[in-house]
Amino acid sequence: MLWRKTLRVLVWIAIACGAVAGIVAIFFTTWTVPGDDPQLAVSMEPTMSAGDLVLVSRSTGGSEGALVRCADPDAPGRFVMGRVMGRAGDTIEFSGGAVSVNGTAPTSNLACDQSTATLKNPATQEDEQLRCFLEEFAGSTHQALRSEKHTGGDVKTQVEPGKVYLVSDDRALHLDSRDFGVLPPASCQRIVFRFWGAGGWADVKKRLTVLW
């Protein structure tokens, strides 16, 4: 009978979904980017925002270019975020607001769909207009922000053995290794996928997004 066939199909679909959910739970965990730390939230714009529900790998480490969350060295139980741009022995240099790795700057010739972003500076509570550009690094392309007015001081660091250097996608309003230092890769987990943003399922631009 038709209803029996339909029921059988539904049962198999439920079993398959349960199996997939079980596999995902073994290898990944979910995490909502906290909104109670304005500096953390603004530091990963425009890639991520406060309220984003993301999928995080349970395995630790940090390959070059990976977007990761790492244990906050200054606040147990909390996390910092960043993109791995330096590993042991690499020289990371910031000059004029631009970053280079071992003397080579990532390619950044293209502008984002929205060429500027206006964000509130947590330190001054004033709005700042930042330029958005597409950056190619370690085989993938991601968005990043830069200030044309406030480039910050020049910084040059050689990553010590057994550590990684994180860089915020928001290069101006950052919270990265310039602030908290280098980190052990064993404290880091890769962020791979966003289910939706703070606006929920209705926010089409942020739902079901692979994160690079």
Q: What is the pLDDT of residue 193?
A: 97
The CATH class of the 24-210 domain is mainly beta
Looking at residues 11-31, what average pLDDT do you find? 64
Rounded CA gap, 93 and 110, in Å? 22
Burial of 82 (0-12, 13-18, 19+ CB in 10 A): buried
Q: What is the pLDDT of residue 94?
A: 95
Looking at residues 101-107, what average pLDDT do you find? 93
Q: What is the pLDDT of residue 84?
A: 98
- pLDDT, one tens digit per residue, over 135-191 is 999 988 999 999 988 777 789 999 999 999 999 999 999 999 999 999 999 999 999
Confidence bin at 25 (pLDDT 50/70/90):
low
Q: What is the pLDDT of residue 13?
A: 63
Confidence bin at 107 (pLDDT 50/70/90):
confident
Specify the DSSP class assigned to residue 2: H
Mark out the alpha helices in the chain (DSSP H runs). Answer: 2-27, 38-43, 177-180
**DSSP bridge partners of 142:** 135
| Residues 185 and 165 sit within 8 Å (Cβ to Cβ) | no
| Residues 160 and 138 sit within 8 Å (Cβ to Cβ) | no
Does the pLDDT of residue 130 top 60, yes or no? yes
Looking at residues 66-73, what average pLDDT do you find? 97
Residue 165 — left, alpha, or beta (φ > 0 → left; ψ -120 to 50 → alpha)?
A: beta
Structure-model confidence comparison of residues 33 and 150, the more confident one: 33
What's the mean pLDDT when you consider all of the chain?
Answer: 89
- pLDDT, one tens digit per residue, over 43-52 is 999 999 999 9
Rounded CA gap, 39 and 86, in Å? 22
Rounded CA gap, 34 and 40, in Å? 8
Rounded CA gap, 168 and 66, in Å? 12
How is residue 118 written in tokens?
């206006």
Residues 6+ apart with CB under 8 A from 49: 33, 41, 197, 198, 206
Q: What is the pLDDT of residue 55?
A: 97
Confidence bin at 97 (pLDDT 50/70/90):
confident
Helix (H, G, I), strand (E, B) or coil at 136: strand
Rounded CA gap, 202 and 72, in Å? 32
Looking at residues 94-122, what average pLDDT do you find? 91
